[in-house]
Amino acid sequence: MITICCPLPTAIESILTEETCPINFGQIQKLVFWRHGQSIASVATAIIEATWTTLLAAEDDTKAIVTPFTSGASLTPGEARSYGGGNDTLDGIELIIGSEPAMFTARFLQYPPSTVALLKDLMCEDLDVIFINENGQLGYRDISDVFYGFHVKGLFIGDLSLPGYAEPSGNTISFKIPSSEMDGFEISDSTDFALTMLNS
């Protein structure tokens, strides 16, 4: 739901207009999942290999899981949710009442069913996700300078597809992220370990 701004501030809040550094996350190659609400105290701590060694080896709620490499990964923002039109609203103009969640889709290509079966177990969990790109950078949610993931909704790992001669076998993964969470998206510095992390 879009927040109703009332009362309005005295003036429209200023927006930074000078040239800033552009952002581009590139190709999402791996995902990290942990239970919803977990965090790392700072970004500086999050790009230290020892931090993730501890989280991947944990045996409690802090445990993190890194996925195999993904293919065709994309995150598509949600469309506007609207009401009305025609005679239902003034001048026939629809009211914008919110936005749909963002949709993530990807495939795991040619991984054995035993690996995928373990990934399917994650569908029972309430999870957050962190993205890893081809440069070993982490895509995370910044809340007051604390490193969080994005809340995963409707996680689905599909059954094995056998498409035949021209396409490899594989499994789909999809989930949704609630609207506006991506407003907190930040990109860490490159690391030399994120793409080679292994689960304990």
Q: Which pLDDT tens digits describe the chain residue by residue (200 residues)?
A: 677 788 888 898 888 777 777 889 999 999 999 999 999 999 999 999 999 999 999 999 999 999 999 999 999 999 999 999 999 999 999 999 999 999 999 999 999 999 999 999 999 999 999 999 999 999 999 999 999 999 999 999 999 999 999 999 999 999 999 988 999 999 999 999 999 999 98
Q: What is the domain extent for residue 155? A: 28-196
Spatial neighbors of 71 by CB under 8 A, at least 6 apart, are 106, 107, 108, 109, 170
Is the distance from CB of 32 to CB of 53 less than 8 angstroms? Answer: no
Distance CA 111, CA 173 (A): 13
Q: Are 79 and 99 in contact (CB under 8 A)?
A: yes
Structure tokens at 33: 């999942």
Q: Is 6 part of any domain?
A: no
Residue 57 domain flag: yes
Structural domains counted in the chain = 1
d(C-alpha 190, C-alpha 91), whole Å? 51
Residue 23 lies in a domain: no
Residue 148 has which token pair? 């969080």
